[in-house]
Amino acid sequence: MLDTLKKLQNEFEHDLSNIADGSSLQNIKTKYLGRKEGLITLLFEDLKNWSIEKKKEFGGSLNELKRKIEETLAEKEKTLTEKNVFVDLSIPAIKPEVGHMHPISQLQKEIEDIFFGLGFDVQLGPEIESDYYNFEALNIPEDHPARDMQDTFYMDIEHPKKHPGKNIVLRTHISNMQVRYMEKHKPPFSVVLPGRVFRNESLDASHEHTYQYMEGFVVGKNVSYANMAWTLDYVMKEVFGKDVQTKLLPSYFPFVEPAAEGFISCLVCKGKGCSVCKQTGWVEVFGCGMIHQKVLAASGYKQGEYTGFAFGFGLSRLALMKYSIPDIRLFAENDLRFLNQF
């Protein structure tokens, strides 16, 4: 019996050295361990007929041989599959999901670049502000009806430094930076200031309590209304395309005189009249004007020495127009199905 086992082992080792691929391995496996005809299986079948002594003597060796064959074949299978892993380099890779800039930030950067190209500096300012800079210094004293133009979040704390204007507000616009900036800089300069502003609004498809805004101003000797009209027309054409028309209509903002509202020709109907432009062909997108002498004076400039223009617009509003988005609230919802389109 031992001889039979020995022969079987030798034969197996010989067969093993001839295994070259998965199918020859499978054949060898069947030859020795196959459920019906496997050589080892047959020996186990035969075991039933053995005497107790024979079982005692050879049973262990038979078991041992079976285990060895199984292990060796499993090992062989492993090395074969490892060797045969085929990497198809032409399969397109799965792109890892990476984030990207929010559509409003993209537009903001684009507009900053346009102004930068015109020689403007880009600056930031505080979101929490004294009502002095947000209103008073801009020729909007307390109890002035113009305060009602903006629904303001007043905060129930006093300004720690008792600086002029004791209340603290969330800035309602970035015009608060006019006097702040001018106090520290000597003209000539031109600057734009992007950021968030806050309004105590009731929310709907075109009103948010927090939205992205951009203020800008240019101060120097002999800065004119015509300079302002050209600059804003140029920027709107850069943002919306060369075919866009702009127009300025007289308006009222206490910190500029004369003041104007800026319109662009409607992008949807190209000026013919539709529901977006309320059949007028024009959409209002910014406020602007020549900086009021009182504001220049509050900044410490000598009366009549400088002139300047200022403008402000909602970036969210521009983004709505540029991408034909029906609802401003989509920008803050963080829905990837929306954001992935940009």
**Which residues sit at the interface with ligand DAH, rule CB under 6 A?**
173, 175, 215, 253, 256, 259, 287-289, 310-312
Closest approach of ligand DAH to the CB of residue 222, in Å: 18
Task: Say how far apart CA 116 and CA 110 lie, in whole Å.
Answer: 10
Closest approach of ligand DAH to the CB of residue 135, in Å: 11
Return the number of the residue (107 or 315) whose C-beta is nearest ligand DAH.
315
Instruction: Give the CB-nearest residue to ligand DAH.
Output: 287
Return the number of the residue (195 or 289) whose C-beta is nearest ligand DAH.
289
Residue from 250, 274, 272, 254 nearest 263 by CA: 250
Return the number of the residue (65 or 139) whose C-beta is nearest ligand DAH.
139
DSSP per-residue letters across 234-249: HHHHHHH-TT--EEEE
Closest approach of ligand DAH to the CB of residue 232, in Å: 11
Return the number of the residue (235 or 259) whose C-beta is nearest ligand DAH.
259
The alpha-helical segments, DSSP class H, found in 185-254 are 225-240
Closest approach of ligand DAH to the CB of residue 289, in Å: 4
H helices then E strands: how many in the chain?
Answer: 12, 10
Return the number of the residue (78 or 144) whose C-beta is nearest ligand DAH.
144
Closest approach of ligand DAH to the CB of residue 309, in Å: 7
CB 176 within 8 A of CB 196: no
Return the number of the residue (32 or 135) whose C-beta is nearest ligand DAH.
135
Task: Say how far apart CA 288 and CA 248 lie, in whole Å.
Answer: 9
Closest approach of ligand DAH to the CB of residue 261, in Å: 8
Alpha-carbon dihedral 293, 294, 299, 305, rounded to 10 degrees: 30
| Three-state SS annotation for 255-291 | CEEEEEEEEEECCCCCCCCCCCCCCCCEEEEEEEEEE
Compute φ and ψ for 266, nearest 5 degrees. -60, 130
